[in-house]
Amino acid sequence: MTLHPKLHPVIVGMLVAVPGAVALGACSSSSPPISSKPSVVTPTSAATAATTTTTSATTTANFNSCSVVTQAEAASAIGASVTPGVLGNATVEGGLACVFYGPSAPTPTMPNVAQPDTVRVVVVKGPDAITWYNDYKSKVPAQPVTGYGDEAYYDGSASLSILTGDTYVRIAVAPAGGPPSLSDEEQLAAAILPKL
């Protein structure tokens, strides 16, 4: 599969760290969708997004990345309707990614493959969070970002990584018609961080 030329291989591991996610990622998982309903949510205001209930599934620590981001928040960040979150393995953060697909996503059944028109959030909680955060930081042209958690950086092409306490969060918003947007990722971070 060939990715869009503007999508850097780093997008493959787009994610956000959240307390409790503990599975190591691999590129071939068949995690079931959080919801089998084909419903979509259109972008809404932050107030509406805050009242939307989060769909969640059970993981080894009764936590997964979909438990910290709502479908409405993902839709607002990407500026389009999205499917319910689907769990997939995160390859660079060592956790589970929650992936939301927009209407133009090429293959909305492959959560382990980064693609355009998606929102990916990965949360890793615990003593390994800082290790994964620093490991990814050492592999990209990290650009410091202030105002999020204890420290944060933009990887220069695809995602925002945040370290807050013993939690690593990685967020990637990949619109259908253009490159990832740091401002969209920051908007989603502002909605997620208070939930950690």
Q: Number of folded domains in the chain? A: 1
The answer to the question of residue 101 being in a domain is yes
Is residue 98 situated within a structural domain?
Answer: yes
> Range of 170's domain?
9-195
Determine, yes or no, domain membership for 185: yes
Residue 191: inside a domain, yes or no?
yes
What pLDDT tens digit does each residue of the chain (196 aa) get?
Answer: 333 333 333 333 333 333 333 333 333 333 333 333 333 444 433 333 322 333 333 333 456 899 999 999 999 999 999 999 999 887 667 778 999 999 999 888 888 888 899 999 999 999 989 999 999 999 999 999 999 999 999 998 889 999 999 999 999 999 988 888 899 999 999 999 999 8
In Å, how far are 27, 69, 104, 149, 150 from 86, measured between CA atoms?
Answer: 15, 12, 16, 25, 28
Q: In what order do the strands lie in the sheet with 143-144?
A: 86-89, 96-101, 118-125, 167-174, 160-164, 151-154, 143-144
Q: What is the per-residue pLDDT for 157?
A: 87
Residues 6+ apart with CB under 8 A from 39: 83, 84
Q: How many CA atoms lie within 13 A of 39 on its CB side?
A: 8
Q: How many CB atoms lie within 10 A of CB 157?
A: 17
CA gap 79, 76 in Å, rounded: 5
Residue 3 lies in a domain: no
Examine residue 34 and state whether it is found in any structural domain, yes or no.
yes
Residue 4 lies in a domain: no
The reply to whether the predicted model has a pTM over 0.85 is: no
Length of the chain as a residue count: 196
